[in-house]
Copies of this chain bind each other. A is one copy, B any other.
Amino acid sequence: MSTPILSGLAFIGSRRGAKGGAAFQAMNPALAQPLEPIFHTSSLAEVDTAAHLAAQAAPLLASFSGQKKAQLLRKVAQNIEATTAALAARAQLETALPEARCLGEIGRTMGQLKLFADLLEKGEWVDARIETAQPERKPAPKPDHRSMCRPLGPVAVFCASNFPFAYSVAGGDTAAALAAGCPVVVVAHTAHAGTAELMASLVVAAVQELGFPEGTFSMVMGDGRVVGQHLAKHPALRAIGFTGSRAGGKALMDTAAARPVPIPVYAEMSSVNPVILLEEALQSRGEAMVAGLFASCTLGVGQFCTQPGIILLVRSQAAQDFVEKLAASFRSASEGVMLTAGIYQNYQRELAARRQQAGVTVVQSAQASGSAGRVLPALLTVAAPTFLAQPALQAELFGPASLVVWCEDLAQLKQVVRSLEGSLTATLHGTAEEIAQHSELLAQLETLAGRVILNGYPTGVEVSHAIVHGGPYPSLSDGRTTSVGSNAIYRFTRLVCYQSFVDAALPAELQNANPLKITRLVNGQRSSEPVS
């Protein structure tokens, strides 16, 4: 397909948004210059229309087979593949992310869509359960009950600044929601509005080509605090997916809880991703760990939700040597361009505040160019008592900064771990012996994070069946779930039970003949056989 031309307009179902609303432009963060075209904020009436169309589309979408929904996801992936060069070019301009990263993320986005398409084609994800009737049971007959996961209804998806593809318009939340059978209304991120418009045009083209109902997908534009909050309050909405700041996520949680009908919010907000380095591991492979940890701290200018923000060590010679070498890496690190002026300003402000904090030291290169948007990685160090006394030090500092917390002994280290808020990841480096000795610490890390890592680094999130990208609040608003991987589909489903249904009125997954040939739980036993 040919590359669409940017118009700066939203997508309200199959129609384009109007031009009346407040104008804005995406910025080139590397040059601090606005990019063409001018974008037009969606009116609140348009937001309402998008939600209304989604509500209208919901019953039809809920009736579609897994095969049909898979076709849509595959078509979106095909459209993305055919537009890769244009997408990557626009995203580079809007985010200052390098081409390889943009191409990699586009590949990942297509991979996510295909993962869910595979899941739908296999069909077993719905957790079909059948309890056959026992009309002769005493004291009362047992009716026939059949249950499965069904779509929750229209979903609002708020795009992330730091993943212009994988957590954006056709990213993980949208793919999971569509796979579940839920219409989606996306709130584009203003920082990469052009990438968003391109991507939305590909989704809308797929929706139209495959004859899906118009409200299957819309994308509104503008300030999330206005346009997005209005959408979050719409009665048609059934769930919200969000990736962004803690303040933004919390505001949506509050809005969702205050609705006449509260709805779930899956907000990925804030994570410090503690990394604990034990002494024998430092002795045996400290050199490699310096390189590995430095790379993880600074990858993508530190703008990953799994960036290791807090590094915990017990004082030892090996630990001292390690931190000195790590500091040397930070001291010689070069500048990177941050995604947006807002993220840049926040990083500089938060770093300056920590620099003022008594007991905190900061190591950075002296080579700052002073150019707008460019920052230097920073390694901060602090003693555990100061860290414990200053809750502000425990907050995420989004960017290429990590804080070493020096502990006097293991008991103090465990105390620091106990003081931490929930994280997406928690990492432990130790020898086999150390790991065997520290089962209690490992159990503690498990309660802290959705993914516990041994002898690795938290950045780099696989898209798979076993990944968990989630964790206790505030890393995710709903710490039971994951926002990456095939398990993410369950965020947008609800359980429905059909009692004494005639076969023809049941979803195919629950029909006697088992036409989809899926494994089901029949009277407590897994079976792919028909039932009678």
List A residues at the B interface (Cβ < 8 Å): 58-59, 62-63, 104, 118, 129-131, 139-140, 142-143, 145-147, 150, 152-153, 253-254, 257, 261-262, 264, 421-422, 432, 435-436, 439-440, 442-444, 446-447, 450-456, 460, 462, 464-468, 470, 472-474, 477-482, 487, 493-502, 504-505, 519, 521, 524, 526
Residues of B contacting A465 in the complex (Cβ-Cβ under 8 angstroms): 129, 131, 521, 524
Report which of B118, B142, B422, B497 forms a contact with A450, defined as CB distance below 8 A: B497
Q: How far is the CA of A439 from the CA of B504 in the complex (A)?
A: 10
Residues of B contacting A464 in the complex (Cβ-Cβ under 8 angstroms): 131, 145
Q: How far is the CA of A368 from the CA of B511 in the complex (A)?
A: 49
Whether B495 contacts A450 by the Cβ 8 Å rule is yes
Report which of B143, B440, B444, B450 forms a contact with A496, defined as CB distance below 8 A: B450
Residues of B contacting A439 in the complex (Cβ-Cβ under 8 angstroms): 505
Q: How far is the CB of A487 from chain B (nearest CB, A)?
A: 6
Report which of B254, B264, B447, B496 forms a contact with A446, defined as CB distance below 8 A: B496
Q: How far is the CA of A487 from the CA of B474 in the complex (A)?
A: 26
Whether A456 contacts B143 by the Cβ 8 Å rule is yes
Q: How far is the CB of A219 from chain B (nearest CB, A)?
A: 24
Q: List 14 A-B contacts (CB under 8 A).
A: A58-B447, A62-B443, A145-B466, A261-B422, A261-B473, A261-B474, A262-B477, A435-B505, A452-B497, A452-B498, A454-B499, A466-B497, A487-B495, A519-B526
6 cross-chain pairs, A with B, having the tightest CB-CB distances, nearest first: A468-B497, A129-B466, A257-B257, A145-B466, A453-B499, A131-B466
Known: A264-B478, A466-B145, A494-B480. A499 touches B257 (CB 8 A): no
Known: A129-B466, A497-B451. A505 touches B262 (CB 8 A): no
Known: A435-B502, A497-B452, A498-B452. A146 touches B466 (CB 8 A): yes
Q: How far is the CA of A494 from the CA of B480 in the complex (A)?
A: 4
Known: A467-B145, A479-B494. A59 touches B452 (CB 8 A): no
Residues of B contacting A480 in the complex (Cβ-Cβ under 8 angstroms): 152, 264, 493-495
